[in-house]
Structures are given as C-alpha cells and as structure tokens.
Amino acid sequence: MIPFISLSTYSRTALLLMLLVLQITAIAVFINSWSIERKKRSLLSILLLAIIYLFILIILSTVLYENNAGHALHPALMFFANLPAVFYLILSTLGAVIFTLMMIKDHRRRKGIITRLAFKEAADNLPTGLCFGTESGIVILVNRTMERLCHTLTGHDLQDVSAFWERVSSGELCAGAKRLINTESPILQLADGATWCFSHRLIEVEKKQVVQLIATDTTDLDKLRHRLTQANEELDKMNARLIHHGENIAEVTAKEERLATKIRLHNEFGHILLYTRRSLANEADEKEVRNILGLWRRNVRVLRAELEPKEITMLEHLQEAAADVGITLKVDGTIPKDNKDSQLFIFTAGSEALNNAVRHAEATELYISISETESHYTAAFLNNGKVPESEITEGGGLSSLRAKIKGQGGQLHIQSLPFYQMTITLPKRKGVKDD
C-alpha cells in the first residue's frame, strides 16, 4: 500500500481538500443539529468527528510543509506520513457518509417539528391580534394583526405593551376610533366601523410573569347585536299595538255581552206580552196581575236605563244583566283591575254562568268567588238553582269559552255533581301555563 508521503502532489492536495470539506461539513452539521435541539450524545459525536478531522488535517498539512521545506520529520509526524493513503481515503469516505446521513435525518426531523420561525409565521397569520410582553412593557412577541391595530388606534408601532394597554383602557385613541364599552375587556370601534374586543391578563411562562394581550374581531357580533336591538324595538311596538287591540277587543266583547243580554230581555218582553195576552183572555186573578205588572215595571226600568247612556264597569254591567233577569249577583273576592285580559275572561265566564243559571237551573242567586296566587287568578261560579240530574254536556257557549281560556294559558273546569260549579284559572302573565 502506498503511504501518504509517497503520493503525488495532486493526490495529496486532493486528499487534504477532501479533509477540509469534511471539516467544514462537520461544523455545519453541528450548528444545524444544535438549532433543532438534538440530544447531547449526538452533538458530542459530531463534535468529536470534527476534532478528529481537524487534527488529521493539521498533522498532514504540517507533514507536507516540513517535507517541502527539507526538514527532518518528527517521529510522530513520520508515523502519520507513512500511514497508507487508503486509510485516509476510507476515513474521509466514512465521514462523508456519516455526515450525509445526519443531514438527511436532520432535514426530515426539521419538517416534523415546530420551530420558532414556524410559530412566528403561524401567529402572524392569525386573524386575532396577539401580543406577549414583560410586565415592564418590553415586547416579546407580536403578530401582524396586533401591529396593525396598534398603528390604527395610536398612530405608532407597538413598542411598549403597558403603554398600549393603558391607551386602550383609557380610550385615548386616534381620530375616528372610539371606545364602545368600558369593562375589563373594552370594545373599540375603528374608523371603518369594525369592532374589536381587547383582553389583558398575566400568564406564567417558565416561572416568569408574562403579559398577554388578545384582540378579537367582534364586527359580526356587533352587527347581530344591532339587528337584535332593532328587532326588540319592533317587537315592543308590536306588543304596544297588540295591547291596544286587546283593550279594543275587551270593549267590543263587553258590548257584545251587553247586546246578548238585551236580546235575552227582548225575548223576555215577548214572553211577557204572551203572558199578558193569555192572562187578559183568561181573566187572571189579582196575584197573577201583580206578577205581570212587576215584570212590566222591571223591564221598563231597564229600558229607561238604556235611554240614559253612562259609563259603567263590567261588574256593574253584569249586575244589571243579572237584575234584569231576576238574578241576585254576589261577588266574593277582588276583581283584578290591572289585568284587563283576566278581567274580561272572568266577566265572560260570568255572563255564561248567568245564562245557564236562568235557562237551566231556574236560580235566583249567582255566586262568584275570586282568589289569586302569585301567578294565577281563580274564579268559581255557582248558583242556588236546581242540581243537574247528570253530567253537563257542553254546548257552544261553554266550548267557545273553554277554547278562549285555553288559548290564554288557563283552564276551565265544570263540576256537575253533587252541585253545579264552573271554575276558571287564568295566568297573571300571558304564556304562563297552569299546573
């Protein structure tokens, strides 16, 4: 085997260049491995190889220098000079293979890890503003969104985290920007109408306090809030109109009930006329004549009252209607004055109870008992007339009343035996269901 010292000048130069390239490669691999935080054992191995190649390069360079200068070689230098050239070639090839494999492995590993540059790029691409800094105000990390917001709101770049947060909190902003809500997380509106919510908190990183600022785009939420506010205003207006319509309906219903009572009185007049005609034809006795005169006087009083219009309450109307048909109305409890819907339903049910007392029970007294809880009104209607012989079959009047009360969220209960009683339960607020 040819020793190194016996190689031609070009061969020795080529071998030294190869060792120099390996030395530079070793340094590059060491730096690259250090940047991706390779294990200490791997770093030490690379450093050892780099030292070995540096030592051999220095030794062989010294051998060539001493030999060209004509000086006698030191025994140690002579040892390395007489080593076979194949040894150095194999050593160089082995180093090249090792370094190539390490570089390929590092490249693959670099693709699978998140570097600081990758983290900064990801933070810059976030639509949310992000900033981290020390308690003294020094910026550690800030993304492009927060930089843009800082420049828009203050007119300056973000250099001091504490100063920027102080301006956001105090509302000292550039022209066109303003603070909408002043809370722990203030909401600011930019000149273009976009709204951003800022939050500030302290977090602990490696046992150190770090200030975290986050800005979230709330433009879409703000638009939805405005739409919801407008919708609520429209609903309030609609509710006011419905209340007004409800009051009109109550008035119309009262008039309808009064008209129904008048129709029944009209029918009574027809019966009185027939009764009078029959009595005159049959020469009625004095007692029967007095009864007929009493009926005429009562209906005449009703007619006179109708000729003198006056404002009367629903209770007075119901009492007059009861008196017109010979029924004494007795009310126990307080009629709700502030809840017109419940008041209307109570008097509607009272009119139906009055009608049934006259037509079916032949009663002379009608009792209305009203009570209330925190959420409901209850009204019970009973009379002193005949007890039903069987279960009551609901006609059109009761069925219609039941449907109206159910639509209001209440209930209607009919008791037939051992005595007749009609009970309604009404919620104080519409939409509250009865248990």
Q: What's residue 265's pLDDT?
A: 66
Does the structure show a pLDDT above 80 at 195?
A: yes
Instruction: Report the SS3 class of residue 257.
Output: helix
- Output 239 or 168, whichever has higher pLDDT: 168
Of 160, 168, 172, 157, residue with least CA distance to 196: 168
Q: What's residue 81's pLDDT?
A: 79
Does the structure show a pLDDT above 80 at 107?
A: no
Residue range 104-123: mean pLDDT, rounded: 72
CA dihedral for 198, 202, 205, 209, sign (positive or negative): positive
CA angle 52, 56, 60 (to 5 degrees): 175
Largest CA distance in the chain: 176
Tokens of 110: 């670099």
Does the structure show a pLDDT above 50 at 205?
A: yes
* Whole-number percent of the chain with pLDDT over 90: 5
Determine contact, residues 379/351, Cβ cutoff 8 Å: no
CB atoms within 10 A of CB 66: 16
Q: Kindly indicate the confidence band of residue 340, based on its pLDDT and cuts at 50, 70 and 90.
A: confident
Residue range 171-180: mean pLDDT, rounded: 84
Mean pLDDT of all residues in the chain?
Answer: 80
Q: What's residue 305's pLDDT?
A: 62
Q: Which long-range contacts (CB under 8 A, 24 or more apart) does 140-148 make?
A: 140/210, 145/215, 146/213, 146/215
Report the DSSP beta bridge partners of residue 426.
Answer: 377
Is it true that the peptide bond before 418 is cis, omega within 30 degrees of 0?
A: yes
**Residue written as tokens 């981290």?**
132
CA distance 419 to 399: 20
Q: What's residue 312's pLDDT?
A: 57
Q: Kindly indicate the confidence band of residue 435, based on its pLDDT and cuts at 50, 70 and 90.
A: very low
CA distance readout (Å), 205 to 29, 142, 375: 31, 16, 56
Of 318, 371, 327, 328, residue with least CA distance to 349: 318
CA angle 18, 23, 24 (to 5 degrees): 100
Most confident of 74-88, 251-265, 271-285, 296-310: 74-88
Q: Which value, to the nearest 10 degrees, does the dihedral of the CA atoms of residues 62, 67, 73, 77 take?
A: 40
* Helix segments in 74-218, DSSP class H: 75-81, 85-111, 116-124, 144-154, 161-170
Q: Which value, to the nearest 10 degrees, does the dihedral of the CA atoms of residues 279, 282, 285, 286 take?
A: 40
Q: What's residue 236's pLDDT?
A: 78
CA distance readout (Å), 209 to 132, 165, 201, 202: 10, 16, 10, 6
Sheet holding 187-189, edge to edge: 139-142, 129-134, 208-217, 195-205, 187-189, 178-181
Q: What's residue 112's pLDDT?
A: 63
Q: Kindly indicate the confidence band of residue 118, based on its pLDDT and cuts at 50, 70 and 90.
A: confident
CA angle 321, 325, 327 (to 5 degrees): 85
* Helix segments in 180-338, DSSP class H: 219-281, 286-307, 314-324
Does the structure show a pLDDT above 70 at 430?
A: no
CA distance readout (Å), 369 to 281, 329, 385, 411: 45, 11, 17, 16
Residue range 55-78: mean pLDDT, rounded: 81
Helix (H) or strand (E) holding 48: helix 40-69
Determine contact, residues 210/203, Cβ cutoff 8 Å: yes
Does the structure show a pLDDT above 70 at 316?
A: yes
Residue range 35-62: mean pLDDT, rounded: 77
* Whole-number percent of the chain with pLDDT over 70: 87
Q: What's residue 66's pLDDT?
A: 80
Q: What's residue 294's pLDDT?
A: 77
Of 53, 74, 60, residue with least CA distance to 5: 60
Report the DSSP beta bridge partners of residue 132.
Answer: 141, 212
Q: Kindly indicate the confidence band of residue 246, based on its pLDDT and cuts at 50, 70 and 90.
A: low
